[in-house]
Structure 1
Amino acid sequence: MDEQNTKRKIIEPLIELLGWDILSTDVELEYSVQMGSGTKKVDYALNLEDTPVVFVEAKGCDTELDRSHEDQLKSYMRQIGIDWGLLSNGREFEILRRDFSSNRPNEISLAKFPIEKVPDNEQPLKALSSKSIKSGESKQIAEKIESVQRAVRTLRTNKEGLAEDVTRVVTDIIGESVSQPVEDEAKGFVDDLIATLEEQAHRTAVTEETTKESTHASEGQYVIRLTQNGEEIHRVVGNQQAATMASLVDYLIDHEGLTDAIEIPYVPGTGQGSRALLNDKPEHTNGSKMRRYEPLSEGYYLFTALSAKDKMRYLPELPEKVGLECEFSGEW
């Protein structure tokens, strides 16, 4: 199909499915964007209160999407300050989101998939729905997916070390003769874990926000609340301790000016040890590599190879540096 047929038969029905009335003022066709001395047109602008919140750029099924199409949509989003974008040729879909972790204008890919994989990507698509945009659920969906993406990057970076750790534990128990097959299986396990995490991130619904008075969490979830004078400022909920910690520290860096309030590397406790909790490279003050870590925004790294007790002991030091307190609940 050419572009016109693709829009009518695929793109516009999808916009309707996401709760946007194509015939109302909520959807503006051929939205004008001033680019330099000229004017460009975005195929669809999805509006809340007459303000665009999602840009949709469509190509025909007979057109192969490439980097230039992605850059085109990103430039439109950046010019107007739009948080969300959808690029599609009816066969492939890419969902873009403004990167709030960066001080510079930047748009990142939240999900990219073919039409056959739409059922496996219900959550990133739901983030573009009228209901999710209005309620703020879109942000929760994005934060959950981005948290898993960070975990996946960490697993890929540390795959060899994880396989060696597993091999060492097993061979200590049953002998060196099985070290090679155990290491091969351990690497396969990490690959399978990465695939599972990516699939779950795009299919599993986010937990609904609880009230400020409640600290209830679903089974298997970790909750950290940031408070000031007893009033909740921010809350993170995750299925993994390390990813939940990373989400909290990312918030402190992006919104509370944490790195201006501490010295990097940051050594917790008395500050006299060698293990850095937060650093601008994945290593400690003595040059040794962090055994496990989570990459954060602005090029920082959070050390996570700590027991749950030590995490709850040292992590509160960071919000305290910016005048906040934190509370742990759920599976902690």
Structure 2
Amino acid sequence: RTDLGRYFREMEVGLAFAASVAIGAWSVAAPNRREQLLLTAAREGCVADIENLLESGLGIDAPGSAGETALHLAAANGRTAVVNLLLSLGADPMVRTTAPLADTVSLAGAASRTAAHAAAAAGHHAALSALLEHDTSALAVSDAGGDTCLHLACANGHEAVAELLLRRQGVDAQSTTTGATPLAVAAGLGLLPVVQLCLAYGSAVDTADWEGNTPLHWACVGMHSAVCECLCSAGASLHAQNKNGQGETPLGLAYQPGHAAMDKMRRVLRETLVKRSVNGDPEVSKARAAQERLEARLVALARDDPTTLIHLLQDAALQATIIRLRADISLIPKCALEYCDQRMIRDLCEQVSWMNV
């Protein structure tokens, strides 16, 4: 499945990079004293100091040890006045960092971030707005991890910044450069307000990531029942199959043996399934037909060849299919009571016990 944990590991990556610099694993030119003063002034929002340093001939895009410029640090720390000053003096908003920057959270997760990435990740609406008023090119740019500005805003729960981006022409709300859409990232992290915002601005509810997981898959994996309900209300497919080899569906994921916290999520999906069944949803009808075919085959095997069925029920692929289709395997021991001896009945009951959901 898609790795949700990447969004929780950004600071760890940054700290690891800092350690690698300390032991000489990376060869990064350190800024000289005046360059460092410029970077510090930008970080702290010291407009007068920046003006004095630049008047002395210091390069406006002089990089720090991770390739960060004064504009990066001003944007990352919400120093809008500094951002405007630097842009007016010719700072390049498309300069990218060369490595993660450990001590700046919005630059710690991945290399190749622009100042706009830094502002979006940190949730600095005014700074990002200033950058986009100057140049909208950053809207389509991905960092080394594949994240766009919108991915970073959504992953960090910054609703106002996400809306600022979604309102802009040129932003791709369906981008899967990171493996998943911004909507899917927010769904997997349980960020309901961001999910609602993405849907309100037309994000496709069933766009799959590189592994075939839809936003509803992500929400089910994260056990986010409120997000599941929101996505289902928007028409999310309960039966979309991912590409993990077993063709897991959101419905199947919800019904795997798991934590009690999944009960509410299962109820949400069940209610959605019932509503769609009443309304004649073709997807539900197709899934129900497949479920009935599987149940009929299992019952026939319990009647005609229970020994083979016992072995089949140990197969992971069949177990995954039963979960995905929600086949009623209680039919197996019921059928066995009529056709099998007590030993066979006991063995069949043991094989279906893993479906205790």
The two structures share one fold, judged by TM-score above 0.5? no
Greater gyration radius: 2
Structure with greater proportional strand content = 1
Which has the higher relative contact order, 1 or 2, with Cα contacts under 8 A spaced 6 or more apart?
A: 1
Structure with greater proportional helix content = 2
**TM-score (normalised: structure 2):** 0.28
**TM-score (normalised: structure 1):** 0.29
